[in-house]
Amino acid sequence: MSDDGQNGITIIAFIGSVFSPYYAFARRKGPADPLNHCAVNVAVYRSGGNRWAMTERSRDAVNRTTDTFTVGPSHLSWDGRSLSIDVDEIAVPIPGRLRGTIRLVPTAITQQAFSLNQSGNHQWWPIAPCARVQVRFDHPRLNWQGDGYFDMNHGDAPLEQGFADWQWSRGAMQDGTVILYEAERRDGSRVDLAMMFDRDGRMQAFEPPPTMDLRRSGWRVVRSVRSDSAAKIVKTLEDAPFYARSVVSASMLGEPVTLMHESLSLDRFKMPIVQAMLPFRMPRVRRSNWSR
């Protein structure tokens, strides 16, 4: 989020896109190659109108090394101190260019990843809980700095097989970052992580405050958050049939905090009607040629 709270951006680089209907269809025939289902998802939030892109591409449009990852015209690179993301995508459902650069500079890199289920086939690593972000876009015209965050999920099984839903939130505090990760597993057990990271990456777990119900999204996705006192939705950024991304005002560890919050219903996601809707937001390019 920008320092003035007026702009936001989310970037997700997918190898084997967990929300891809094409990947799900390919897996019905047997093991599928995750590199045939890659995408760079870009979501821009601004007063002049939000923009969204998530074009899936096959392995002949993908290249990766230890420090770089390229999907079609978009490119991520790590130089040892910062992550640079060069974006060149076409927004959907209303076509429009998304082209620019995001630079994320962590204050520290953490070393600990977390298993989200007992079998260990779903992992989450909060790589850089505290970071500064610089956003410069030509299309649309953007130029701002703000607070940022960088993490990674890795799985060896379809997400909807392991979980029914989750609520995740992250917010900047006076002395670091607070992150809460809650999920209901398919076996009925739960993930309940609550942690504070200082600017040097040191983590301290804490007892999460009570759960506060939030109003449902426009698609009736259930939303809730942990908070010491009353919490409220400041803004809904994404409202999809199985997913909501929101800005939430809450209180944590006795301090007011603005959270980036997400609610995911995997029961909704796997419904046939929802799967049929996904290609309208997640088109797939079947040829390798592209131009900047």
Span 135-148, average pLDDT: 97
Tell me whether residue 290 is in a domain: no
| Phi, psi dihedrals of residue 35, rounded to the nearest 5° | -70, -10
Span 70-87, average pLDDT: 98
Angle 240-85-62 from CA coordinates, rounded to 5°: 85
Q: What percent of the chain has pLDDT over 90?
A: 95
User: For 172-183, how does the pLDDT look when each residue is reduced to its tens digit (9 = 90+)?
Assistant: 999 999 999 999
Structural domain including 175 reads 8-285
DSSP, residue by residue, 44-109: EE-TT--EEE--EE-GGGEEE-SSEEEETTEEEEE-SS-EEEEEEEE-SSS--EEEEEEEEEES--
How many CB atoms are located within 10 Å of the residue 63 CB?
11
The pLDDT, as a whole number, for residue 119 is 87
Tell me whether residue 221 is in a domain: yes
Tell me whether residue 61 is in a domain: yes
State yes or no: pLDDT of 14 exceeds 80. Answer: yes
Span 50-73, average pLDDT: 97
Looking at the DSSP assignment, which residues form a beta bridge with residue 74? 71
- Regarding predicted confidence, which is higher, 45 or 287? 45
Q: Do 171 and 259 meet the contact criterion of CB atoms below 8 Å apart?
A: yes
Tell me whether residue 49 is in a domain: yes
The pLDDT, as a whole number, for residue 118 is 87
The pLDDT, as a whole number, for residue 286 is 73
User: For 21-50, how does the pLDDT look when each residue is reduced to its tens digit (9 = 90+)?
Assistant: 999 999 989 999 999 999 999 999 998 899
Tell me whether residue 2 is in a domain: no
Tell me whether residue 108 is in a domain: yes
Nearest CA to 280 out of 237, 240, 246 is that of: 240
Tell me whether residue 129 is in a domain: yes
Round to whole Å and give the CA distance between 219 and 52: 18
**3 state SS of 22:** helix
Q: What is the number of domains present in the chain?
A: 1
User: For 93-133, how does the pLDDT look when each residue is reduced to its tens digit (9 = 90+)?
Assistant: 999 999 999 999 999 999 999 999 988 899 999 999 999 99
Tell me whether residue 41 is in a domain: yes
Residue 291 pLDDT level (bands cut at 50, 70, 90): very low
User: For 240-274, how does the pLDDT look when each residue is reduced to its tens digit (9 = 90+)?
Assistant: 999 999 999 999 999 999 999 999 999 999 999 99
